[in-house]
Amino acid sequence: MTQPPFLPLTARPRDEEHRVATPLELFFDLCFVVAVAQAGFELVHAVVEGHTGSGILNYLMVFWAIWWAWMNFTWFASAYDNDDVLYRVVALVQIAGVLVLAAGVSSAFETHDFLVVYIGYVVMRLALASQWLRAAHHAADPVERTLCRRYAAGVLACQVGWIALLIAPLDARPWVFLVMVLAEMAVPVYAEKDQPSQWHPHHIAERYGLFTIIVLGETIAAATVAVKSGVRENDALGEVLPIAAGGLLIVFAAWWIYFVVPAHDRLTSSRQGFLWGYSHFLIFTSAAAIGAGIEIAVEQAVGKTHLSAVAAAAAVTIPSALFLLCVWLLHARRFKTGFVQQAVLPVAALAVLLCTFAGRWAVLAAGLVAAAAVALGVALTASGSAARTTARISS
């Protein structure tokens, strides 16, 4: 039966069955990948041209803006998505905002001009604030109404604060950015201090998983373009093939390690939800940076940059190790038993870092280490399950 075009924007049940991502949410994620790709592209150019420090700083700043806007939409949608006409229109406006933001990424990297990024951010955040005010209008009780109004007020106040990023001296802008990041992250904590919003654990875990897949997919796409360019323009198949193979193994291992455990089991409270949600900034950032690192390694292999082999390898191994360690810290370790199982991912992260010094074979070596970590984890889990089954039968 067709639903009415306009519905009350009320909270959805937190224990709702069969709660899954909607087509609009999937479309939303795909449009965000445009901005992620732009950030990765500019990071590659900055590092290849010798501006590593400023490139990494700009990448983190731009990626945070992308991730934070995505995360705010995701958690609001988990609690309030009624999928009516007005909700869809406002979500599409947010998509337009992220496309504007993506258009300003190059200026942010090259001249530290954040005006276009800010305009895109304003579009997204004003749309989000209107959603919170609409939810407040339809709230079932005063506490929930206060929660929604706090969110709307916090979002709008932070938008005013971000103006400082446009007018501050260049040297002060990273510090302004840091202050505003802390202010933005404090808004949900303050808004939900009396009552948590009705986000759905399974839905949130699925949404984060889907975005992880999309970011890893963008990593593969970027690496494929880099390898294709290296082979076509420089006839350097022998140089880029180990990088391509190693990069693919790293991405495959990253996917396996992230999804091997049921993340929603960790989302049993708002405190855990905040920690889990905020910590994914490092996971998403490192996952996207792996693709940029593979591009940098290819550029170095075909002689298009003056970076050393060690520096180019580090562009792959450092984000790869960070991804492994963050996934382990965030939720994988909660499902491991015994010292050996717990040690697999931290040891693998260290081994991946040591691969930095393996010369032209560094990326391939890192990929083999990541794949070995997956294989060892599977073997240990299987042996543990078999041992528990035998113990139950014996008893």
pLDDT tens-digit map of 196-253: 888 888 899 899 999 999 999 888 888 888 778 777 766 677 788 899 899 999 999 9
Report the candidate in 276, 280, 260, 369 with the shortest Cα–Cα distance to residue 316. 369
Do 61 and 134 reside in the same domain of the chain? yes
Dihedral sign, CA of 382, 387, 393, 395?
negative
311, 333 Cβ separation under 8 angstroms = no
Do 264 and 180 reside in the same domain of the chain? no
Six-digit token string for 20: 């899954």
Residue 393's pLDDT is what? Answer: 55
> Is 14 a member of any domain?
no
| Residue 77 host element (H or E) | helix 52-80
> Is 117 a member of any domain?
yes
150, amino acid identity: R
> Is 10 a member of any domain?
no
Six-digit token string for 364: 């391939």
DSSP secondary structure code for residue 162 in this structure: T
Instruction: Kindly tell me the burial class for residue 361, based on how many C-beta atoms sit within 10 Å of its own C-beta (0-12, 13-18, 19 or more).
Output: middle
Task: Express each pLDDT in 135-169 by its tens digit.
Answer: 999 988 999 999 999 999 999 999 999 999 889 89
> Is 315 a member of any domain?
yes
Q: Please tell me the distance from the alpha carbon of residue 174 to that of residue 355, in angstroms, as a whole number.
A: 32
> Is 186 a member of any domain?
yes
Indicate the residue among 199, 217, 234 that finishes a domain.
199
Do 145 and 108 reside in the same domain of the chain? yes
Q: Please tell me the distance from the alpha carbon of residue 196 to that of residue 202, in angstroms, as a whole number.
A: 16
384, amino acid identity: G
62, 108 Cβ separation under 8 angstroms = yes
Do 309 and 163 reside in the same domain of the chain? no
Do 207 and 108 reside in the same domain of the chain? no
Do 175 and 257 reside in the same domain of the chain? no
- Long-range residue pairs from 155-158, CB within 8 A, at least 24 positions apart, any chain: 155/72, 155/125, 155/128, 155/129, 155/187, 156/125, 156/126, 156/129, 157/183, 158/125, 158/183, 158/184, 158/187
Six-digit token string for 68: 């934070």
349, 286 Cβ separation under 8 angstroms = no
> Is 230 a member of any domain?
yes
Residue 235 region by backbone torsions, left for phi larger than 0, else alpha for psi between -120 and 50, else beta: left
- Dihedral of CA atoms 153, 158, 159, 161 in degrees, nearest 10, equals 130
Do 264 and 282 reside in the same domain of the chain? yes
301, 223 Cβ separation under 8 angstroms = no
Indicate the residue among 199, 230, 255 that finishes a domain.
199
Indicate the residue among 199, 215, 237 that finishes a domain.
199
Six-digit token string for 366: 């890192």
Do 194 and 206 reside in the same domain of the chain? no
Listed as ranges, residues in the chain with pLDDT below 50 are 387
Number of compact structural domains in the chain = 2
> Is 17 a member of any domain?
no
Do 263 and 235 reside in the same domain of the chain? yes
Do 169 and 238 reside in the same domain of the chain? no
Do 104 and 244 reside in the same domain of the chain? no
Q: What CATH number has the domain bearing residue 307? A: 1.20.1410
> Is 33 a member of any domain?
yes
Do 60 and 193 reside in the same domain of the chain? yes
Domain that holds residue 329: 202-389
73, amino acid identity: F
The 3-class SS string of 234-250 reads: HCCHHHHHHHHHHHHHH
